[in-house]
Every structure is written in C-alpha cells, then in structure tokens.
Amino acid sequence: APVCVLVLGMAGSGKTALVQRLAAQLQAQRCPPYVINLDPAVRDLPFAANIDIRDTVKYKEVMKQYGLGPNGGIVTSLNLFATRFDQVMKFIEKRQNASKYVIIDTPGQIEVFTWSASGTIITEALASSFPSVVVYVMDTSRSTNPITFMSNMLYACSILYKTKLPFIVVMNKTDIIDHSFAVEWMQDFETFQDALNQETSYVSNLTRSMSLVLDEFYSSLKVVGVSAVLGTGLEEFFVQLSKAVDEYEREYRPEYERLRKTLEKAQSKQKREQLEHLWKDMGTVCVQSNTLADSDDASAMGPSDLILTRGTLDEEDEERESDTDDIDHDVTEQSHEEAAFRNFMEETRMKYQRRSNQDE
C-alpha cells in the first residue's frame, strides 16, 4: 500500500515548495508519487498534480454563491470536495501498485484543514486505508525568536493530538539558517531559558511555563532540517518517514481498522433500518428494483452543482499513463454497495409478493 504524506504548515512555511521538491526527487529515482492538491485558491502549482481540487470545485463561484470571503470560500470548497472524497480513494486504490507515495498539499491557511470537519474526514479516510503520516512544515528562519518558536511548537503539538497519526516536524529553509539552534532548544531546557531571558514581555513568562509542558512532546518528536530550494536533508527525511510508517503499522493501524469496522457496521445497520422504514411506508405499492440515481443526477447534487463534471473513468483511461487525473463524477461501474442495495430491495419485493399471494 502507498504511504500517504499529509503536508501541513503555516502560510509561507514552504509546503508547496517541499511537495515540489519531494515529487522531483521521487521522479528522479523512478518512483513517481501520486500528488494531490487540496488548495482551491492557489494560482499556479509548481508541480503536476494527479488530482487537483481546482479541477473539481470552482472556488470563485463558491465565494459568489454563498457570499463568502477568501477563507470562507476555501473552507466551503474543501467541504464540497470532501463529499466526493470516496472517489479520490478509488483513484488512489487503482494506482497503488504504480506509486509508493501519495503526497497531499493542503491549503495555506492551516486552520482550514486542521480544524475543519472536511479535514478530519479526509485524514480519517486516508488513515483507515493506507499508512499515513503528518508532515508539519516550519519556517526555521522565522523561528529564531524563542516566543515564535514556542508558538510553532504549540501548534505542532495540537495537530499531533488532533490527527492521531505519526508526526514529523520538517524545519524548512535551512539554506537561510541552520536548524541546529532549534534542535538544541528542544533538547536543552536551560539553553531555551537563556534565550527567553532576553525577552521581558508577559508572553515570555507564559512561554517559559509552556516549555516545561512540552518536554515530553519533544522527547518522541521526529525532527528533520531540510531546504526545499536546494534539496538538502531529504535523505534524512525519508529515513524518518520510514520510521513513521513503522510507527503507524505498530501503533495506529489497529485503531483505525477498528474505527473503520465500527463505521461500516453503523452505516450498514442504518441503511437497513432506513430501507425497512421505507418499505413499511410504501404499504401495498409494488416496488420496482430501480437502479440508484447516477452521481450526476441534478436532484442528488444539491449544493454540489458548483462541482464540475469532468467525464468518466473507463478502461481506456485506466490503461493510459497520464500526468493528471480528474475525479470521476460519472461512475459507470456499479459498486458492491449499490449491488447489495438492489439485491436487498429485490429480496424484499419478492417476500412481499409471496406474502400478498398467500393473503389472496
């Protein structure tokens, strides 16, 4: 199974530059990654994305339709995209033998992904099917101030506990300044306190207290210094990524498999109950075993009229090697779930007809 690498970070930390560098490095090694862009507001991508949210959601139309600003438009676009994420999962599954890594670039506004329902849906969908690792990109050159550094670390800590996944902190832009000072601050409490003593604000006192709290967080944290511009540090990054995958298999996979089974059981039970209620409500009306509405049925789309229809995934598309893929919005193959639905309806119809014949 491919390794899903979720790249997160503050605006300007160099997430997109890192994704570009990772993709280029893997391409050079003849191990092309499957790349997904989740930022609907980005103008130009410096890498070829296999799946691009901009091909699926019209960001500016979302802003107009709902009367939103830029951030609200990004959140809503991501929410609309998340409703079709099951199709993204199908694409990843189809290409899993060809790509060892799936790299996901997230919106520049980090809170849009980390604290939204859609971010949770996407993260859990990936983590319940594939080994997944969160990569938190940090601007080293902007973290030379101990208070700014602590703010970054607190945010990293909150994301670690929110995502419940293996976590790597990538200290980017080491071509500007070496990250050794930050590593020293994490390993040596006294050194960090000395740096804080030069600050006299109230925030420095708060930071001094918080640094004690983060000691345990630091002890198990994977940290790598890289330069997305020069490509330095990537060998160590892939070493840490391999360790993170081992950690996922050992500590996280059992929990996500349990979560997936629980959700599947709950959804199956809910669907069966809904069908039983539907049958009771229909009374003596004879039910024909109609197929489910197509995904492009206007009555089923609702607010996702704003989602573009980009064609189908047919056998010819599967065989053809392409740099870019679009999300399949007109799936021609009938899923197992749809087949089960129709079988259940047919069985129920037959039972009802037999019961009616006996009554007559």
Q: Which CATH number is 198's domain given?
A: 3.40.50.300
CA dihedral defined by 119, 122, 123, 126, rounded to 10 degrees?
Answer: -170
- The pLDDT, as a whole number, for residue 312 is 37
In a domain, 192, yes or no: yes
Averaged confidence pLDDT in the chain: 81
DSSP helix/strand/coil, 7:
strand
Averaged pLDDT, 60-86: 91
Whether residue 69 is predicted with pLDDT greater than 80 in this model: the reply is yes
User: Tell me: the pLDDT tens digits for 220-272?
Assistant: 899 999 999 999 999 999 999 999 999 999 988 888 888 778 777 777 777 67
Whether pLDDT at 140 is above 80: yes
- pLDDT at residue 337, as a whole number: 52
Going across the sheet that includes 34-37, the strands are 51-52, 34-37, 101-105, 3-9, 132-139, 167-172, 222-225
Quick check: 143 pLDDT over 50? Answer: yes
**Does residue 328 form part of some domain?**
no
Higher pLDDT, 22 or 325: 22
Predicted TM-score (pTM) of this structure: 0.74
Q: Looking at the 3D structure of the chain, how many domains does it have?
A: 1
Asked if the structure places residue 303 within a domain, the reply is no
Evaluate whether residue 299 is within a structural domain: no
- Is residue 118 assigned to a domain? yes
In this predicted structure, the answer to whether residue 288 has a pLDDT above a threshold of 70 is no
- Taking the C-alpha atoms of residue 226 and residue 319, their distance in angstroms, rounded to an integer, is 37
Asked if residues 147 and 204 have their Cβ atoms less than 8 Å apart, the reply is yes
Amino acid at 346: E
DSSP state of 57: B
Confidence at 340, pLDDT banded by 50, 70, 90 = low
E strands, the chain, in order: 3-9, 34-37, 51-52, 101-105, 132-139, 167-172, 222-225
pLDDT for the residue 67: 92
Mean local confidence (pLDDT), 328-341: 48
The SS3 of residue 231 is coil
Q: 122: domain range?
A: 3-256
> Is 46 within the bounds of a domain?
yes
Q: Is the pLDDT of residue 343 over 70?
A: no
Report pLDDT digits (tens) over 151-168: 899 899 999 888 889 999
Please report whether residue 285 resides in a domain: no
CA distance 138 to 18: 11
Instruction: State the number of CA atoms in the 13 A half-sphere of 195 facing the CB.
Output: 20
Q: By three-state DSSP, how is residue 164 classified? A: coil
The residue among 297 and 217 whose pLDDT is bigger is: 217
* pLDDT at residue 77 greater than cutoff 60: yes
Identify the band that residue 309 occupies on the pLDDT scale cut at 50, 70 and 90: very low
User: Does pLDDT of 176 surpass 70?
Assistant: yes
State the Cα–Cα distance between residues 136 and 167, nearest whole angstrom: 7
* pLDDT confidence bin for 349, thresholds 50/70/90: low
Q: CA 188, 194, 195, 201: dihedral to nearest 10 degrees?
A: 130
Domain annotation covers residue 322: no
